[in-house]
Amino acid sequence: MHPISHTPVNWPAPNWVRALSTKRSGGFSQGPWASLNLGDHCGDTLGLVSQNRRLIGTVLGGEPLWLRQVHGARVVHEEPWPQEADARVIRSVGVRAGILTADCLAVLFCHQTEKVVAAAHAGWRGLACGVLEATVGEMGV
């Protein structure tokens, strides 16, 4: 087992919401992608990326639903992978969302009383396209 390095996100969310931010250490990837590469689009061995993603699932208690992030404003819900979008809204307890970042932001949303959360990938293009506004709109609260 390759224990991953991660930081819990400290934010004023209801106690049923969990979030974390991973660091680079603890995965299986080699070479320029060493070690916890989660991106399947950058040239790394896909089998190693899959192993890394499963490691995230062990920490979260289940594997997240990942997106093919395209630097736009499309928002999806709980549709399975692969979805080309930059945000995901979740209304089911126990479903996890994964967002990849390098020089972009991961923006997390939750409602204090409604069981709805969202995660968005926000780079300058997505911000200019309105990804955050679209995400809040799709949350429907």
Task: Give the torsion through C-alpha atoms of 93, 60, 139, 88, to 10 deg.
Answer: -130
What pLDDT score does 111 carry? 95
Sketch the domain layout of the chain as residue ranges: 1-63, 64-141
pLDDT value at residue 2? 74
**How far is 31 from 15, CA to CA, in rounded Å?**
39
pLDDT digits (tens, 9 = 90+) for 118-129: 999 999 999 999
pLDDT of residue 6: 85
Judge whether residue 1 has pLDDT over 50.
no
Burial class for 60, CB neighbours closer than 10 Å (0-12, 13-18, 19+): middle
pLDDT at 106 over 70: yes
Which region among 13-22, 66-75, 83-92 has the lowest average model confidence (pLDDT)? 13-22
Secondary structure letter of residue 65 according to DSSP? B
pLDDT tens readout for residues 23-61: 888 899 999 998 899 999 899 999 999 999 999 999 899
Mean pLDDT of 60-81: 92
Average pLDDT on 81-106 reads 92
Q: What is the DSSP letter of 18?
A: -
